[in-house]
Every structure is written in C-alpha cells, then in structure tokens.
Amino acid sequence: RATLLIPDLPLAFDDVLQRALAKNPEDRFPSAGAFARALQDARDEAADAALQKDNHVLIVDDDEDMRSLLSITIEAAFPQTTIFEAEDGFVAFELAKAHHPKVCLVDLQMPRVNGLEFCATVLGTEALASTHLVVISARPEEESRQALAGLNIAGIFEKPVTPRQIVQYLKPYFE
C-alpha cells in the first residue's frame, strides 16, 4: 500500500496506484486517460473526506444511555457529522488526538480521567486548540464551575438536558 510508504497520502489513492502498478498488464488501466481520471476521482474523494473531517463530534460520558441519546440526537440533526464516543477522559483524549473533533460534549464526573482533566488536557494540546468543549454534567460543583471558567469552555449545560437544547446549541457549528 502506498499509504504505508507515504503516510500523508490519502487512502483514496491506494487502490488507484495499486491498479496502475499491477504486475499483470491486463489488470492495469486501459489508458493514461483512464489512469488520470481515476487519480482525479481519488483526489476528489480525499477532498470530500477532508471536508467531513471538520464535522467530527466526540461524546465523552461514562453513562452509556446518555452517550446514545446524544449520538442519536446529533446524527438525526446533523447527518453529515461523524460521531465518536468515549466512556472516560483517557479514551476520549486518544480519540481526540486521532480525529480532531470540532466539538466535544463532556461529562465532568467520570472514572480514570474526569471531564475537567480532559478539558484541560485538550486545551493544552496545540493540535486540538480549535476544538470547542461543551460540558454537560449533573449539577457541576462551584469549584468545577470556577475551574471551567478559567479554561475557556464553549458552553455548560446542566443535566437533564433536552435533545432540542443540544441541537440548538450545535447549529452554528454544523450549518
């Protein structure tokens, strides 16, 4: 695979290049024009994938039902989004580094790495500086609210939160 040799090369080019370099001439493109069209299609596919990359949402909550509710709500309202889910801040940070979400919806009270620690880590990571963090938590303590105020959090919602509230809040990010 070409992407193993050149990691920055979009995956869309792998099949095109493998076909062009096939050992059996009958498996190759029938003409240079066909090869050029296939490369153009791969480039267009890679460009579309890059645009979709800007529509990633990461839901971070140890409550599986809450993650499902948020995921279903966001998917229905913004079908162009790609949604990732994590049950704690440790898993969430790994997903954030890999997918660079536009928005993270974060619960504060979670095992291992809590939401406050996750938010601080994301905001302290240069590659994730443009990520918008939205806290959704059951009665955040005053100490947590003060810490969040110092972290430049995009929004804070207190549970229970309705699907309509989430959709209204996220509209400017995805329309």
Whole-prediction pTM: 0.68
All residues at 6 or more sequence positions from 120 whose CB lies less than 8 Å from its CB, including other chains: 151
Contact 113, 90 (CB under 8 A): yes
pLDDT at 35: 92
pLDDT at 96: 94
Q: Tell me how far apart the alpha carbons of residues 10 and 14 are, in angstroms, rounded to a whole number.
A: 8
Phi-psi region of 155 (alpha: psi -120 to 50; beta: other; left: phi over 0): beta
pLDDT at 167: 92
> What would the two tokens of residue 92 be?
């969430």
For the chain (175 residues), the mean pLDDT of every run of 10, in chain order, is 62 82 92 91 73 79 93 91 93 92 91 86 88 84 67 82 91 85
All residues at 6 or more sequence positions from 132 whose CB lies less than 8 Å from its CB, including other chains: 102, 103, 104, 154, 173
pLDDT at 80: 85
Burial class of residue 10 (count of CB atoms within 10 Å of its CB; 0-12, 13-18, 19+): middle
Q: Tell me how far apart the alpha carbons of residues 132 and 51 are, in angstroms, rounded to a whole number.
A: 17
pLDDT at 139: 67
